Amino acid sequence: MLSFRASTQVTSPAAVEGRESLQKIYHLLEAKGFQTRMEGVGLLLDLCKTSPQLISSNIVQIFDYFLLRINDSHKKVKQKALEVLAEIIGLLEDALNPVMVRLVEGITKNLNSKDPGVHAAAVNALNKSIAHLELSHQWSQLSGEALLDVTERITVLVEWVYARSPEVVQRYALPVLWSCLENKALPVRSANVCAVVTKLACALCEVMGTQLIRCAESKPPHVQENLSSLLGW
């Protein structure tokens, strides 16, 4: 006769509390009332301080909600989210890597805001982000679909970041361009490969001018040829 031993999965109080905290954040961040959404932004900051591991372990899902508040329809929510983001970057550091490019992309959409509070908060958040992006050298090691995804996002950021910190663009955007021109993206079966790489090359050419040519001179001949072909030089 076979005997079966019943097994009971025990969930720790800390795990239960963590799930409840996350659900509360999600609920608050997508609430209809702007004051409630602001409360959600504040709660996220508190948890980044008190439970950074919880936030880090669920970073992608949490920031799917939080990114909406960076571009909230209510300027008070938007400003608070940007101000909180500047603090969060310093608290979570490398844990933000999976969402960092999306965050900076969201920040740049607010740099043209006519509201002085939103604009100032966006500038501060961008400056904090730039300092973090300097550490993201691993982007230059990407290939294939991941490289294309990063390339599309970086293109959006080049103009804004270069105006404030050109050395950062040269440090993290140029390696991505060189990676593309070294054919690392070409194995991807996508008709958009050339278009994506061309947009990045044109964006860099727009802000760097002839300096881009000088930077390319240190690269292999086929990289220089690919760049010239894309830009029509």
What percent of the chain shows pLDDT beyond 90?
38
Q: What is the DSSP string of 14-42?
A: HHHHHHHHHHHHHHHHT-SSHHHHHHHHH
- Higher-confidence residue of 30 and 152: namely 30
The pLDDT score that the predictor gives to residue 176 is 81
pLDDT digits (tens, 9 = 90+) for 71-127: 999 999 999 999 999 999 989 887 887 888 788 878 888 888 889 999 999 988 988
pLDDT by residue (tens digit) across 8-64?
454 567 777 778 889 999 999 999 999 999 999 999 999 999 999 999 999 999 999
160 vs 144 pLDDT, higher one: 160
Please say whether the beta carbons of 79 and 113 come within 8 A. Answer: no
pTM of the predicted model as reported, rounded to 2 decimal places: 0.66
